[in-house]
Structure 1
Amino acid sequence: MSGGWLFGYIDALAALGVGAVLVCVTGRVDEPVRRTHRPSGAPMWLLPATGLYRLARRALPTPYAWDRASATNGLRGIRAGLAAVLRPVAPYLSTPPWALATVLRRERCFALLCQEYEEPRFDVCIAVGSILRLPVFATFQGGDRQRSGLERIVRRRALHAAAGLIVASSVEKERLRRRYQVPTGRIAQIFNPLDIDRWPLGDRAAARAQLGVSDSAKVVVWHGRVELYRKGLDVLVEAWELLGTAHPDDDLQLLLVGNGADAPKLRALLADRRLRGVRWVDSYLTDRSRIRPYLDAADVYAFPSRLEGFPVAPVEAMACGLPLVAADAAGVNDILALGEEHGGIVVRRGDAVTFAAALARLLQDQSLCRQLGVRARARAESAFSLSTVGSQLQGFLADGAVNKKCRTI
């Protein structure tokens, strides 16, 4: 288990001498277990869910269902009624407050950072922090809605009790201010970090030889989770069809790397369109060594997403020196704040015609393509490196702890 924003935070803070302790709640242990996360060297605690949560699970097959219909699906009579009653409460029961407090004391933590403030575990962490007089911070990684009326009641109070909230997207920062009236000083816009040293510029010729792609091919790549609408893959397929029609004599190659719930839909769409030059690696790859050849072999990175929290995939591509063509999903305008000056072309979401035109512009102008690739790498180095993000995190956590006047445990 490595990669992603969480381990990026750990690496960024470690680079500045700030230690981190991972805490996970899991059904695989019956008592607290302390281990070491090997890739980062960080202590890792596995905590069992509370006994009340385990009892609730017997009556509620899907405790994190988004609505009553999903929670009671397949249930009848008293069981359906009990599931409906437990649905808003069950997510609050999973996090064991006393076990968490014990870990925080034992590890002498000076702050608690929670993944996603739009989750019941954040509200529980706020309660634990209040008891221990420990500052609680939380991040935004895409969750922006509640499952129940109970959450809506509790969440506003919890957010105002937090020492600070960390968001990468300016859109989310504005949502917090507008919906919850969170003071600006409690919100820090800090990007998710990327270890740039682990994403060095690659050997294009070697990557193409490895994948069997010709030197003369014009190659576009995408990687991520296959969710047709959310990730805009239907738009990319349509744009690719338009591009192929407009440039019938070019050796165009589209590399798709990823798997997900909508893999059957994507497979059907590709079969229906019968597009040329499409190669799909139907696997969700997390190993950088397996992803790198596809990124290194490409000329342009395509990012057609409609919905995102703050995307990591385009930043990985930028670190590899690839220019972007990206839809204006949340976070994209922060990554490419200056557009082409930061290494990419931003287009309107859902617009396949404009997306295809932007791809064609870069693929037909290799000089511009290389120039934007250099800018993309520079942007990744300056805005997303461990040192940059680590300094921002350290400063915000320290300031929040002082402002809350909390003691170190």
Structure 2
Amino acid sequence: MPRVALLPWGDLIEDYLDAIGLTFDELRTEQTGGWLFGYVEALRTAGVESVLVCVSRSATEPRRTRHEPTGTTLWVLPPTAAFRHARARLGATRRASPLVSYLATPLRPLAAVLREERCDAVLCQEYEYPRFDACVLVGRLAGVPVHATFQGGTDPGGPLQRRVRAWALHRAGALLVGPLAERARVQARHGLPADRVVQVFNPVDLRQWEPVDRAAARAALGIPETASVVAWHGRVELRHKGVDVLAEAWRRVGEALPEVDLRLTLMGTGPDAAELGLLVDQLGLRGVQWIDEYVLDRDAIRRFLGAADVYAFPSRHEGFPLAPLEAMASGLPVVAAAAPGVRDIFGPDDGHGGVVVPTGDPGALADALLDLLDDPARRRRLGGRGRARIEDAFSLQAVGAAIAEALFPAGRSPAG
């Protein structure tokens, strides 16, 4: 069975975990879904085994353990001493210097893991990040091809990083990209051949997102059966995720429907959680029910989505978002801002599960939400089409086969 090392985006895994209030132990014992574990499950359907590799501030030496929900091998590596020193000196300003990120990846320990686990390939979560460049160097020294996905990164700003990125991209294997616009950009910018930049979507485990009984879901959340409910879930970052746009749109929905029992249900936390709480109060938003925490229980998320009539996705910027995929898999119609990747999710027209509105436009978002709240038949039609779209293009089997073909072309094994 081929083996692929998966490395998440960022310098330290805690950069991601701290923002959503999780510990590394909770990731190891409870967390599922997302890019990392979605890829594990998708690759498994294609007969490819994953090895997870994380760099953690808690590690003092390489440690081999296991991700309990998937049973996948998990390596925890310490960052370099130079990185620890640089972060300690920079403190809160550490992100101002992307060059520090090049110090995070421990090159020799990573190469040792690839050899010990007999990995046939490396797959990085994001090619527009220094970890990808470091992995390409390790891969060339270890004789292991390095591939990467696109998750919303941007061109590096400094000339040194731009040169290093160009070097890495021309020596890497396949780039797995969801949005066609990004596929065209990276090909044109770096002169890459078309067969090296492959459209591959993020996977959805349909078993986790079967639609639930709406009445039971609403009863569990204390929502009346007659209420009109719009849902959103994700990491609370006001500008990046457009939650400020959603708040203003909801104010307008409330003004347009003063006699209707309206509910805006929110699930998730993040660095701007306190600011969102203030915004809800300042705008006088009514009917807001917010679960201000990162929820690991997939059944709880299913009930949360199952209680809604419409799903709102107001993000300004994304790579290839998972949240609207989960909503569509749950049978919800989606109103989404035109962030990167959104039109690729819906397919050739908006009829495959949702309606697209301009980014940063609360008026357009409010109008689209009002239209759907007023049209139950259209909601059912869009919700059914969205579920069918996910089954056809985003299932573990469909995406797993696409990833395996990109990493091991023509179905050949690494040895073949």
Same fold, TM-score > 0.5, yes or no: yes
Partner of 1:22: 52
Partner of 1:94: 104
Partner of 1:292: 302
Q: Does 1:246 align with 2:276?
A: no
Aligned equivalent of 1:8, options 12, 32, 38: 38
CA contact (8 A) 1:163 1:400 kept: no
Provide the secondary structure at the position in 2 that maps to 1:358: helix
Q: Does 1:159 align with 2:150?
A: no
Distance in 2, Cα, partners of 1:102 & 1:285: 35
Q: CA deviation at 1:59?
A: 4.0
Distance in 2, Cα, partners of 1:172 & 1:152: 17
Q: CA deviation at 1:180?
A: 2.0
Aligned equivalent of 1:53, options 53, 69, 83: 83
Question: TM-score, normalised on structure 1?
Answer: 0.89
RMSD: 2.1
Provide the secondary structure at the position in 2 that maps to 1:61: helix
1:162-212 alpha-carbon deviations (Å, 9 max, x no partner): 111111122221221232222221111111111111111111000111112
Distance in 2, Cα, partners of 1:349 & 1:289: 31
Distance in 2, Cα, partners of 1:177 & 1:123: 17
Partner of 2:184: 174
Which has the higher mean CA deviation after the structures are superposed, 256-265 or 199-208?
Answer: 256-265
Counterpart AA for 1:194: V
Counterpart AA for 2:376: Q
Q: Does 1:329 align with 2:323?
A: no
Q: Does 1:188 align with 2:218?
A: no
> Cα 1:400–1:106, aligned 2, differ >3 Å: closer, same or farther?
farther
Aligned equivalent of 2:351, options 341, 359, 362: 341
Distance in 2, Cα, partners of 1:58 & 1:350: 37
Q: CA deviation at 1:62?
A: 5.6
CA contact (8 A) 1:305 1:327 kept: yes
Partner of 2:405: 395
Partner of 1:207: 217
Q: CA deviation at 1:320?
A: 0.6
Distance in 2, Cα, partners of 1:63 & 1:276: 38
Partner of 1:135: 145
Question: TM-score, normalised on structure 2?
Answer: 0.87
Which has the higher mean CA deviation after the structures are superposed, 47-56 or 349-358?
Answer: 47-56
Provide the secondary structure at the position in 2 that maps to 1:182: coil
- Identity among equivalent positions (%) equals 51
Q: CA deviation at 1:148?
A: 3.8
Partner of 2:66: 36
Counterpart AA for 2:300: R
Distance in 1, Cα, partners of 2:69 & 2:150: 24
- Structure 2's unaligned 5+ residue stretches are 1-26
Which has the higher mean CA deviation after the structures are superposed, 299-308 or 40-49?
Answer: 40-49
CA contact (8 A) 1:340 1:372 kept: no
1:306-334 alpha-carbon deviations (Å, 9 max, x no partner): 11111111101111100001110111111
Distance in 2, Cα, partners of 1:64 & 1:15: 39
> Cα 1:29–1:353, aligned 2, differ >3 Å: closer, same or farther?
closer
Within a 5 Å distance, the mapping from 1:66-105 to structure 2 comes to 66-67=96-97, 88=99, 90-105=100-115
Q: CA deviation at 1:229?
A: 1.6
Structure with bigger gyration radius: 1
Provide the secondary structure at the position in 1 that maps to 2:95: coil
- Structure 1's unaligned 5+ residue stretches are 68-86
Distance in 1, Cα, partners of 2:409 & 2:143: 15
Partner of 2:4: none
Distance in 1, Cα, partners of 2:414 & 2:218: 56
Q: Does 1:107 align with 2:117?
A: yes
CA contact (8 A) 1:339 1:346 kept: no
Provide the secondary structure at the position in 1 that maps to 2:96: coil
How many residues end up aligned between the 2 structures?
386
> Cα 1:286–1:182, aligned 2, differ >3 Å: closer, same or farther?
farther
Q: Does 1:219 align with 2:229?
A: yes
Counterpart AA for 1:203: D
CA contact (8 A) 1:3 1:286 kept: no
Q: CA deviation at 1:407?
A: 6.7
> Cα 1:269–1:93, aligned 2, differ >3 Å: closer, same or farther?
closer
Distance in 2, Cα, partners of 1:348 & 1:222: 18
Counterpart AA for 1:191: F
> Cα 1:149–1:66, aligned 2, differ >3 Å: closer, same or farther?
farther
Provide the secondary structure at the position in 2 that maps to 1:298: coil
